[in-house]
């Protein structure tokens, strides 16, 4: 009893801080970032900096929990005026339900990454600091600081600074291993992300030039009072949206994502894929739902939804063609980002389901993708490579890791009771309810394609011929495996969370019924007919894919490598489709073509926004 | 037509012409030179618009520091330029992209011309709320009091940027001296310049920061001048750059933002809000923050120019 009281009392006092509470998640990572260059040497059997960061991450989790509790129990957004200055002069912080969810999600995922990376980025006993250890831990703090600032900021310029902090911290993480290839990927990311920043800033300037304020609440008031959107606001919305899309890597602006996310060290990939691209997406939500809520014309919504649908189909199909596990997971991120943009065409008439489903996708994908990237890291470390075709036999070496990989995959596919299941059910219901059944179809096909590449990976894992003697070069740490498993379980069991907690989504915005939507989606999720209806298409896909695996012609002698492989019938189909898609992807990811896509998108969005103005 | 209008029109045409030239010119080096000239003209335009603070920042950071970084990059990239030029996209694609860019530019120009006039502004609100901050320069008031969080986060952003530069070092070189500065052969002229100029430069830098409280100027401009003096001394070889593992250097890099956060946090108890200043103490606290931030920013900017660590050998020597 006393122990419980001891734990609860400071927590209760934290939630009583009100708006001041928001300063803690804003400043904790910044202080960590600033102290990091001074912390070297060893502590508690590891690098001092790594251990210190872990401590800070635990505090950060407590702070995020306190914010979420305060927002949920208070049923209204927390607000804080920095320096006591009211907008438009000063800068406000605000945590509504969406901010609270994002804060908590970041705290959980970064903590998991922090535990995982203790081993990977420790300081050897004979050194006080290494390049990789300082850069990784400092930039992890930098990313965290940028994320929290982006989730709490209420001022378009503060949000710009948050994006800069995020970009400058995320980019060097990509090139941490120092190979020429990853440096090129990092530069690509830097240039495209900076282009996005410039477009965003230009939009912010136009907002200020029109209304003399950058505060989101004040802007919303002034814009909703306009009889028609002024041209500057139309231009600003188009510029900011496209800039943020470039940072989110929505198809066809994904040129930087696959090499960057696949080339980074696994814990960094996990952060980049799970959280960093979500921050710019979150700001797109802020722009369209909070800054200019009435201005989302059907045309704009269709463009964003159409790109999302394109991302789901294209990303998944290209993922199916990847020979390396990490690239496969990176293309899967390209596809999963697509689901987020289905919110826009669905929100006009089914806002509850669309926003709840979208936020669930953010959470479920973050947990699952972080787990998958880190699992892939353990596999690559143990085997010395991540070629899917040569994964045979690794299940004996890394049973727990592969279990986690598979469970995370179930959430991506969208099987009950995972977060992915809730996302797909809510979004499909919203699509059917608003007469946009084709979006529902895209969601279903996306799930099946996801299943296809996961079956492909597991087909090789389970039935492939071991290419190397099944001895791990470096066995994974138990803590690493467990933390990956915990993330995967989190994604898988998200649907079993009490529906009342999902009411967090609606705090701070009127007219939403998140928990009711979730409860409806979960009701009957485990009925036999529903289960069978969801599982049989997967089984068909599984059989097709297993028929597609290259069956090795087992050599008669003792040579461990199969000499040739023959493709089955479905394999030939896939190969034909692949010869079409791979050049298309390579073309889209050329600089001039990506620049052209960006320009066309910018003009199209400006035209679409003005149709309703 | 007044003389001022003629000057303004000439400036505008010059800037537009230079901008087009920077885009059109093939050699990166010439483009950078054009960019520096463009930046200086922009600074003059900011002065014409009575935005002296912006003009100083444009000249110091946008042109001076960025120009130096770009010149270094252009020199290193020169050998690859022909190959890169041959890999440019086909004429059709280039024309299409050019047309779309032109459409966006014209659209933006039209939008800017359609902005409300007179421009809505917070200037009078800032002026009304300047007295509690104790400073006379409204820009400083906005940056250090009204929107202190942005300034704090901006100064923090420099750190990941510097770490990004350091991160491309080779592992064995980690913690050593930075190695990207040119080291021209010793000449009496350079040595003399590096001995004579810094005392004045340091004075100008301090003046800019001190003056920034009430007149145009401030920590970023002052810090750039200080960094430039430091770099001059390093290039002339009068001092060696410090090894990047040195604790004093690391402290120097972060002390500005840490003091800022410390003073801001004390505001929670003393002034009722994070980043608020207690009544009557605002000006000395703002000056204190500016002073330490200047040191940290100068060190960071200097090190950004000095490049990633290259081991412990003195710069300029090749192994």
pLDDT in tens, B182-230: 888 878 888 899 999 999 999 999 999 988 888 888 888 899 999 999 9
> What would the two tokens of residue B190 be?
């350079």
Number of domains making up chain B? 2
Please tell me what DSSP assigns to residue A42: E
B144/B232 same-domain check: yes
Residues in B 206-235 with any Cβ partner in A closer than 8 A: none
User: Taking Cα atoms as reference points, which of A113, A46, A119, A115 lies closest to residue A381?
Assistant: A119
Nearest to B159 among A33, A81, A176 (CB): A33
Residues B138 and B279 in one domain: yes
Tokens of residue A178, six digits: 């120092």
Query: Does B272 reach chain A within 8 Å, measured CB to CB?
Result: yes
Residue finishing a domain among B39, B73, B88: B88
A186 contacts: CB under 8 Å, gap ≥ 6? A171, A172, A174, A175, A260, A263
Mean pLDDT of B123-129: 91
pLDDT at A286: 95
B94, B100, B121 member nearest A603 (Cβ): B100
Residues in CB range of A76: below 8 A, 6 or more apart = A507, A508
Rg for chain A (alpha carbons), in Å? 24
Q: Both tokens of residue B158?
A: 């420099």
Given a contact cutoff of 8 angstroms between Cβ atoms, the answer to whether A251 and A315 are in contact is yes
The verdict on B143 and B212 lying in the same domain is yes
Q: What is the pLDDT of residues A109-136, one digit of tens each?
A: 999 999 999 988 888 887 788 899 999 9
Q: Is the pLDDT of residue A551 over 80?
A: no
Mutate to test the interface with A, among B145, B156, B174 (most CBs of A within 10 A): B156
Q: Please give the Cα distance from A332 to A311 (Å, whole number).
A: 10
The C-alpha of B67 sits at a distance from chain A's nearest C-alpha, in angstroms, of: 18
Instruction: Work out the mean pLDDT of chain A and round it to a whole number.
Output: 88
pLDDT of A256 strictly over 90: yes
User: Please, which pLDDT band fits residue B10 given cuts at 50, 70 and 90?
Assistant: very high
How many whole angstroms separate alpha carbon A431 and alpha carbon A345? Answer: 9
- Give me chain B's average pLDDT, please: 90
- In the structure, how many helices (H) and strands (E) does chain A have? 25, 6
Q: Does residue A206 contact residue A233 with C-beta atoms inside 8 Å? A: yes
A207-250 pLDDT per residue, tens: 999 999 999 999 999 999 888 899 999 999 999 999 999 999 99
Give me B94's structure tokens.
Answer: 């280039």
Question: Are the C-beta atoms of B257 and B300 separated by less than 8 Å?
Answer: no
CB B151 within 8 A of CB B140: no
Asked if residues A354 and A266 have their Cβ atoms less than 8 Å apart, the reply is no
**pLDDT > 90: what percent of chain B?**
61
Please compute the mean of the pLDDT values over residues A299-317 and round it to a whole number: 94
Last residue of a domain, one of B40, B60, B88: B88
DSSP-derived secondary structure letter, A127: -
**Residue A289 banded pLDDT, cuts 50, 70, 90:** very high
In the prediction, which pLDDT does A253 show? Answer: 94
Please indicate, yes or no, whether residues B152 and B286 belong to a single structural domain of this protein. yes
- Reduced to 3 states (helix: H, G, I; strand: E, B; else coil), residue A565 is strand
Which residues numbered 69-128 in B keep a CB inside 8 Å of some CB on A?
89, 93-94, 96-97, 100-101, 103-104, 107-108, 110-112, 114-116, 119-122, 125-126
Alpha-carbon gap, residue A338 to A361, rounded angstroms? 10
The pLDDT value recorded for residue A120 is: 86
B292 at A interface, C-beta within 8 A: no
Residues 6+ apart with CB under 8 A from B42: B15, B58, B62, B63
Q: What is the pLDDT of residues B113-125, one digit of tens each?
A: 999 888 898 989 9
B258 interfacial to chain A (CB closer than 8 Å)? yes
| Banded pLDDT at A509 (limits 50, 70, 90) | confident
The reported pLDDT for the residue numbered A562 is 41
Question: Based on the domain organization, do B175 and B259 belong to the same domain?
Answer: yes
Peptide bond into B93 cis (omega under 30): no
**pLDDT above 70: residue B46:** yes
Residue-wise over A464-489: b if at least 16 C-beta within 10 A, else e?
Answer: bbbbbeeebeeebeeebbebbbebbb
Residue B97 lies in a domain: no
| Owner of token pair 């390093």 | B234
CB spacing of A30 vs B257 below 8 angstroms: yes
Picking from B34, B59, B88, the residue at the C-terminal end of a domain is B88
Annotate B85-121 with b (16+ C-beta within 10 A) or e (fewer).
eeeeeeeeeeebbeebeeebeebeeebeeeeeeeebe
Assigned domain for B65 exists:
yes
How many A×B Cβ pairs under 8 Å? 181
Whether complex ipTM tops 0.90:
yes
* Residues B171 and B307 both lie in one domain: yes
Residues B316, B176 within the same domain: yes
- Cβ distance A229 to A280 under 8 Å? no
Domain assignment of residue B75, yes or no: yes
| B93 within a domain of the structure (yes/no) | no
Residue A499, pLDDT > 80, answer yes
pLDDT in tens, A437-495: 899 999 999 999 999 989 889 888 888 777 655 555 667 888 999 999 999 999 999 88
The number of residues making up chain B comes to: 319
pTM, full prediction: 0.94
The model's confidence at residue A4, banded by pLDDT at 50, 70 and 90, is low
Q: Which residues contact A201 (CB under 8 A, 6 or more apart)?
A: A160
Please report residues of B whose CB lies closer than 8 A to that of A149: 153
| Whether residue B312 sits in one domain with residue B201 | yes
pLDDT of residue A275: 97
The verdict on residue B95 lying in a domain is no
* A68 vs A369: CA distance, rounded Å: 23
Quick one: what percent of chain B has pLDDT higher than 70? 97
Pair (B221, B269) in one structural domain = yes
Domain that holds residue B45: 1-88
Please check whether residues B79 and B144 belong to one and the same domain: no
| A153-157, A570-574, B269-273, range with the lowest pLDDT | A570-574
Q: What is the distance between the alpha carbons of residues B282 and B135, in angstroms, rounded to a whole number?
A: 8
| Residue B67 and residue B139 in one domain | no
Residue partners of A359: CB distance under 8 A and separation at least 6: A98, A101, A505
Minimum Cα–Cα distance from B129: chain A residue: A89
Q: Which helix (H) or strand (E) holds A464?
A: none
Q: Does B169 touch chain A (CB under 8 A)?
A: yes
Q: Is B278 found in the same domain as B190? A: yes
Rg (CA), chain B: 23
- Determine the length of chain A: 613
């Amino acid at each position: 009893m006393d122990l419980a009281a001891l734990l609860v009392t400071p927590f209760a006092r934290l939630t009583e801080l009100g708006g001041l509470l928001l300063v803690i998640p804003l400043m904790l990572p910044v202080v960590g970032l600033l102290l990091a260059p001074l912390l070297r040497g060893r502590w508690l059997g590891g690098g001092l900096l790594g251990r210190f960061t872990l401590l800070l991450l635990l505090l950060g989790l407590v702070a995020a929990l306190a914010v979420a509790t305060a927002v949920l129990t208070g049923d209204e957004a927390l607000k804080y005026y920095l320096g006591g200055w009211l907008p438009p002069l000063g800068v406000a912080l605000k945590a509504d339900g969406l901010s609270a969810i994002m804060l908590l999600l970041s705290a959980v995922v970064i903590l998991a990454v922090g535990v995982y990376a203790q081993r990977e980025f420790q300081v050897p006993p004979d050194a006080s600091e290494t390049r990789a250890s300082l850069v990784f831990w400092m930039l992890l703090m930098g990313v965290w600081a940028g994320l929290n600032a982006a989730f709490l900021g209420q001022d378009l310029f503060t949000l710009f600074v948050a994006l800069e902090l995020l970009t400058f911290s995320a980019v060097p993480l990509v090139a941490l291993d120092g190979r020429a290839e990853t440096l090129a990927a990092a530069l690509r990311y830097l240039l495209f992300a900076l282009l996005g920043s410039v477009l965003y800033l230009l939009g912010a300037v136009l907002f200020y030039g029109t209304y003399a304020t950058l505060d989101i609440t004040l802007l919303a008031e002034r814009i909703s009072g306009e009889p028609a959107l002024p041209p500057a606001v139309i231009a600003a919305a188009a510029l900011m949206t496209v800039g943020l899309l470039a940072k989110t890597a929505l198809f066809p602006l994904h040129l930087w994502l696959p090499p960057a996310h696949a080339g980074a060290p696994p814990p960094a990939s996990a952060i980049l894929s799970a959280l960093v691209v979500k921050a710019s997406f979150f700001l797109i939500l802020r722009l369209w739902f909070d800054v200019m809520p009435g201005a989302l014309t059907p045309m704009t919504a269709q463009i964003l939804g159409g790109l999302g649908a394109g991302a789901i189909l294209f990303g998944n199909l290209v993922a199916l063609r990847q020979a390396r596990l990490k690239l496969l997971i990176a293309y899967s991120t390209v596809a999963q980002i697509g689901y987020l943009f289905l919110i826009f065409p669905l929100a006009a008439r089914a806002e509850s389901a669309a926003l709840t489903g979208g936020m669930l996708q953010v959470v479920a994908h973050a947990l699952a993708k972080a787990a998958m990237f880190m699992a892939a890291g353990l596999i690559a470390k143990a085997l010395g490579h991540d070629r899917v075709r040569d994964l045979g036999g690794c299940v004996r070496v890394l049973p727990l890791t592969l279990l986690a990989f598979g469970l995370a995959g179930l959430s991506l596919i969208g099987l009950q009771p995972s977060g992915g299941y809730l996302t797909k059910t809510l979004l499909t219901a919203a699509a059917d309810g608003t007469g946009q059944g084709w979006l529902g179809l895209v969601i279903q096909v996306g799930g099946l394609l996801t299943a296809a590449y996961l079956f492909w990976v597991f087909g090789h894992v389970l039935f492939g011929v071991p290419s190397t003697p099944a001895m791990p070069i470096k066995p994974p740490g138990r803590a690493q495996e467990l933390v990956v498993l915990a993330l995967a379980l989190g994604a898988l069991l998200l649907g079993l969370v009490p529906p009342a907690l999902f009411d967090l989504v609606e705090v701070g915005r009127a007219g939403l019924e998140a928990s009711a939507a979730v409860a409806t989606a979960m009701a009957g999720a485990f009925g036999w007919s529903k289960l069978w209806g969801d599982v049989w298409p997967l089984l068909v896909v599984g059989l097709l894919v297993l028929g597609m695996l290259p069956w090795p012609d087992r050599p008669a002698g003792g040579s461990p490598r199969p000499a040739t492989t023959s493709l089955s019938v479905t394999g030939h189909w896939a190969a034909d489709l692949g010869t079409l898609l791979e050049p298309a992807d390579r073309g889209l990811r050329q600089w001039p073509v990506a620049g052209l896509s960006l320009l066309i998108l910018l003009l199209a969005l400006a035209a679409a926004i003005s149709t309703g103005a | 037509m007044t003389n001022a209008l003629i000057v303004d029109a000439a400036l505008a045409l010059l800037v537009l012409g230079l901008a087009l030239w920077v885009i059109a010119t093939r050699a990166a080096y010439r483009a950078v030179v054009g960019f520096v000239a463009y930046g200086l003209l922009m600074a003059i335009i900011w002065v014409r618009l009575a935005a002296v603070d912006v003009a100083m920042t444009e000249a110091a950071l946008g042109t001076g520091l960025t120009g130096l970084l770009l010149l270094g990059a252009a020199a290193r990239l020169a050998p690859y330029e022909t190959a890169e030029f041959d890999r440019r996209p086909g004429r059709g694609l280039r024309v299409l992209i050019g047309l779309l860019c032109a459409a966006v530019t014209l659209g933006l120009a039209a939008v800017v011309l359609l902005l409300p006039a007179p421009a809505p502004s917070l200037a009078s609100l800032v002026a009304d709320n300047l007295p509690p901050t104790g400073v006379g320069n409204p820009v400083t008031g906005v940056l250090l009091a009204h929107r202190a969080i942005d300034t704090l986060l901006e100064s923090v952003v420099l750190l990941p940027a510097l770490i990004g530069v350091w991160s491309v070092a080779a592992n064995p070189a980690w913690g050593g001296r930075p190695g990207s500065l040119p080291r021209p052969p010793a000449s009496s002229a350079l040595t003399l310049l590096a001995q004579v100029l810094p005392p004045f430069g340091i004075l100008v830098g301090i003046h800019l920061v001190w003056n920034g409280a009430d007149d145009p100027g401030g920590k970023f401009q002052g810090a750039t001048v200080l960094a430039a003096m430091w770099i001059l001394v390093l290039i002339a070889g009068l001092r060696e750059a410090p090894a990047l593992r040195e604790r004093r250097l690391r402290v120097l890099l972060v002390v500005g933002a840490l003091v800022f956060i410390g003073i801001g946090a004390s505001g929670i108890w003393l002034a009722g809000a994070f980043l608020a200043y207690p009544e009557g103490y605002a000006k000395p606290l703002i000056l204190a923050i500016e002073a330490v931030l200047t040191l940290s920013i100068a060190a960071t900017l200097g090190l950004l120019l000095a490049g990633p660590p290259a081991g412990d050998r003195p710069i300029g020597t090749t192994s």
